[in-house]
Structure 1
């Protein structure tokens, strides 16, 4: 049923379901009255409304060009392509957020738009400091990063209010709140919409967790995170880690980064009432320290039907009843079974790179809002027991009685922040392919023997499916659903 809902939602999605903010049309008209207004000032108004930015970008990329595959990647390029009359018409003809009806929905829509704008302003500041060649491209990707969230609010999904109520609590992680309120990842929804609407590559790729490895997409992800913390009023248990990651990316100390963030907040606060927000407080002095952890609000409930479906699909592939065209579909099936079927918070497939002699995260679930975790790279020289798992078939449950005596590699502890996890080798044709890692993020949501056995079983079934895929005759057609 969830898969059917997701397909219906995304297949029929239209960007014009995202209304403009009611002040946008008048603000743009005022700027355009000055015929000498610089392009940067005009696009600054467009940037302050994610829905208008989306329309401008889409309309400009729909204009026939000599090279159809080329996409405009910034608001400046798009606005220059369309001209001021078209910009004014786009803003004037669009519905406003008042068309959404009830007040809570309108307020939620305005607030999530405000958070997107703050993300864009932070990303722009950081990209310019880092001397990126196209900082406006990074800023635009940050502006549209929470596309899935804004679309569901505009679309009228009744579950979004419960999601927003829960996600503001210090002991609730966004991906886990999605699990219990929506049943689907907002970034998955956003990525699907961005592909359907043919948005530029950086916007799409910044919505994929594994791309936290790359500085430009990491900048987008971190700007989104810091904007979330700011709008929630600081602090959050993940805040210190993310700030230190930003500081490292920009080669700043945390004090200098705090000063830059607070300057951006001052700029944002000038028009904060547009977004149904009170002026946001500055980042406090203790910002670089880890916030006190909160006890978990809930643990993810295992879903036997999801686990059984993963078993059935993997068995079908391994026995030749169901043909699959690539590894990604197999990994996706396994990840969903482990995450939803067993209630494991975070699951990673880290593949072995023989040239770098390291394992690196390639497929992840449950980690959309954790860019630091998504940079899961382990050199074999520092991987400890993980290196042994890559080289020799086996599985471990570390941090509990079953694996007493095994030592947690310090680099793994720093990457994951977990004291207990499952890990299992992944092999193909007797050769190391990588490993699978899984945990329950909070210590109060303890791992258990039944989950460990289910984890091992599904990984081994995925291995068998990968073996079958490798043996399959070239040119075989995949069956629907794989």
Structure 2
């Protein structure tokens, strides 16, 4: 039976990739909405997604965000360098593009996504008087402005194909509404409002889709960004674009000449962003004032599925750690960077920092990185017994990083409860202590690929474990603020 009408389409879209996409957007929104959220919490969300981590680091090192060309090698540094809210908008754009452009997207889907990205950057750059948080809220809302249409186009529904056959690059938003009503039984504005409410995508998106007679400045920016994106498809010298410039001058207070430059700069920025985030077709769909072929697109998609040791990256992260310690960095940020070094530098697929609870009876997870570690905060928790023969007590007695093997011949035999949680036969573990006081442990394994932990992994793990203990020792000597 064909899908028609708002309720049927809302039900159908509950089973698309959009649900997972909105899940991470909600998580990012929760972090940025809370005054108590920290850069470490944002880094933890990003580091759980290896593709997102790679893209964030890549964008942080781009000329746009890093004109000084100072190497940024960790997510923690990227957040510090670029800013909490900007990193959030980068993450949203990455996930939107990654989710919707997977497999073989149709040309119409690519066009709509390109239009959303272009409009989002234009909208954000129109808001010169707003603070960073509100600017990035405009960007995220603009990226989701056409969410209903993009999700419909990802489905295999016959009604979606009928709609797609009747639209093209220059079909106006009003005409798309009429075509959607005809073929889908619901317009994209109504469907978008339903998604925004059901998936809790924010009040600004709802306001932008259905603006009042006096919309907020943010909603006006979202709508104007969308209009710029559409007018640009008709040409920078088209009557539509020239007419739009008049509305833009009223909104910004800038002269026509100043506005023209700003819009051109934003279009170029959108083209650069598309080259870094999207597929090879995406960049061709964004009108830019300059040649788009300067970026080697092939280089952007050559990603290895497996983590491997990277000596250069290990060295850079070690240098970052030294700088953080010398600058009196936050202990949480330092440990986050150490785990990132173990994960991305040493190539260890799953890493955990576990510390003692208040009663010093259990070692429990504080941070966990890697695939399928989402529930380790509650599950990776082990009783500590201060007695001979107790595994964790012996780990602290050894006072060095160790490789533990189930059924091995070593003097330390790990408890079966570790294997029950991790599913691996071997892992690396190191004690954390300062002034003979036990703090916790660092755990790492190759539990995704189940490869063997050879010497290069053991050596890299030992170096970062040593750095962790040095960091603790240095920070312990500093007076408390």
TM-score bracket relative to the smaller structure: 0.3 to 0.5
- Normalised to the residue count of structure 1, the TM-score between the two structures is 0.43
